[in-house]
Amino acid sequence: MNTNDLPAHLSGMLDANARGPALPRADDSLATKILAHKDALNQEMMGENYIDPNDYKPDVHDSRGDVNKARKEVARKTQPAPKKVEPKKAKSVKKALKPAPKREKKMEDLDAVMKKAEQHIQDETPEQEPQEQKTVDDFIRERAIAILAARGTEDPEAALATLKQKHGSIYLTLFSEEELYIYTSVKRSKWKQIQGYITQLQENNSKEGRALEEELTRTLVRNCLVYPALNNADKAEAFFQNAPAGVIDSLYTAVQQVSYFWTPQQVMSQTIRI
């Protein structure tokens, strides 16, 4: 840049050997005096506590270091210590599935205690003879014997044995604790006689429809009932008139069942193939 081209008041500020304008320089003598009296000025301001930075050593006692140390100690004591959180150890699958030996030992001890307790109870319990369990048949038989005895039969057991010997098989039915009936099955020959009697009534037109069915029911029950015995017509008529309404039909059905008047389904339910 040619300084000759600049105005007169700016050309003096440029240094021909420099790239930019020349800055004004401070008085070198004044700066030297300030730097020379710097340490003396600091010592005058600090007084006796002044320490030359060049003369400071770590082992020399410094009250400012004690203050900083005391502040740190107070801060350490007043602030709560952070809790240490230890990460939980992950259990391995094999360890989790593996049964604990102590638990097995406890279970074994419990089993041993239970066995000892059972053995102790068995040793102290007196031996009792096994009691025979009564069935429904036993109950009906015992109740029938009691009813016969209450009605004047001297030897109910002997009376039942006599009826069984006479009729082959006998059947006992209890409708209540006091309502006892003893009957037998109808034989094939007797059934044919009853059918002939019913056919004769039908041919003579003496009875029809429901009346004919009622006569069949009465005839079958009268011929198969052995207790109470219907020895004569008057006694039989009194029984049919005074018995509970459903007893006659129920006895008719029972005689048919013990005489094997079964439905096809009943027969097949008792049938097997070999």
Q: Is 251 exposed, middle or buried (0-12, 13-18, 19+ CB in 10 A)?
A: buried
The amino acid sitting at 120 is H
- Rounded Cα distance between 178 and 246, Å, is 16
The pLDDT value recorded for residue 143 is 92
- Rounded Cα distance between 30 and 124, Å, is 124
Spell out the residues 6+ positions from residue 51 whose beta carbon is closer than 8 angstroms to its own.
60, 62
- Indicate yes or no: pTM above 0.95: no
The pLDDT value recorded for residue 182 is 95
The pLDDT value recorded for residue 208 is 76
- Rounded Cα distance between 48 and 65, Å, is 17
The pLDDT value recorded for residue 80 is 62
The pLDDT value recorded for residue 112 is 77
- Rounded Cα distance between 178 and 145, Å, is 11
The pLDDT value recorded for residue 60 is 47
The pLDDT value recorded for residue 86 is 64
The tens-digit pLDDT sequence of the chain (274 residues) is 554 554 554 455 444 454 555 444 545 566 666 666 666 666 665 555 555 555 555 554 555 556 667 677 766 766 666 666 666 655 555 555 566 655 555 555 777 777 777 777 777 666 666 667 778 888 999 999 999 999 988 899 999 999 999 998 999 999 988 899 999 999 999 999 999 999 988 888 777 788 889 999 999 999 999 999 988 889 999 999 999 999 999 999 999 999 999 999 999 999 999 9
Q: DSSP class of residue 5?
A: G
Query: How many residues appear in the chain?
Result: 274
